[in-house]
Amino acid sequence: MNKGGPSAGGVLGSGIGGSGGAGSGPTTAAAAAAAQKQKTLLQRVDTDIANIVDHFSHLVNVSRVNDPPVRNSQEAFMMEMRAARMVQAADSLLKLVSELKQTAIFSGFASLNDHVEQRTVEFDQLAEKTDRLLARIGEEAAASLTELESHYYISAQKNIQSWQP
C-alpha cells in the first residue's frame, strides 16, 4: 500500500545523475530525471486513486445490513478498515499534491534563475558593445576637435599676419 513517503514511490530520493545517454550532458540528464520523476508521480496517482475507488466499492458492498449480529460486527470492522485505507490513500494524494507544488515552485525558481543569468549575459554583452561605441565616438570627437583646433589656430595666425603691415 502506498503511504506517500519516499520509500513508497521513490520520488524524493531520485537524483539527476542517475541516467545518461548518447548526449550525456546536464540538460540530457535533467530531462531524463524529470521524465522519470513524472512517470513515478503518475504511477503514484494511479495507485492512490485505484486504492480509493477499490476501498470505496468494498465499503459500499459491506455496508448492507444483515440479520445475524456477529456478521454485522464483522462487516462494521471491515467498513472501518476500508475507510481507514481510503483515508490513507487520500492522505497519500494530498502529500503528492504538496510535493508537486514544491516541485513547481522550485523548478520555477530554477528556470527563473536561468533566465536571469541569460539576461545578465545579454546585458553584459550590450554594455561591452555600448562601451566600445562610446570609446569610438570619443576618439572621433577628439580627432575632430584636434582638426578644428588646428584650423582655428592656422586661421588665427593668418588673421594676425594679415593685420600686421
The band of 1, judged by pLDDT with boundaries at 50, 70 and 90, is very low
**pLDDT computed for residue 99 by the predictor:** 84
What is the CB neighbour count within 10 angstroms for residue 117? 10
Q: Residue 12: which residues within 8 A CB-CB, separation 6 or more?
A: 5, 6, 99
Ranges of each domain in the chain: 26-163
Phi, psi (rounded to 5 degrees) for 28:
-65, -45
* The pLDDT of residue 10 is above 70: no
- Angle at which helices 26-62 and 69-163 cross, to 10°: 150
Based on the number of CB atoms within 10 Å of its own CB, is 33 exposed (0-12), middle (13-18) or buried (19 or more)? middle
Average predicted confidence (pLDDT) for the chain: 76
Query: Model's pTM, two decimal places?
Result: 0.44
* The pLDDT of residue 46 is above 70: yes
Mean pLDDT of 30-51: 82
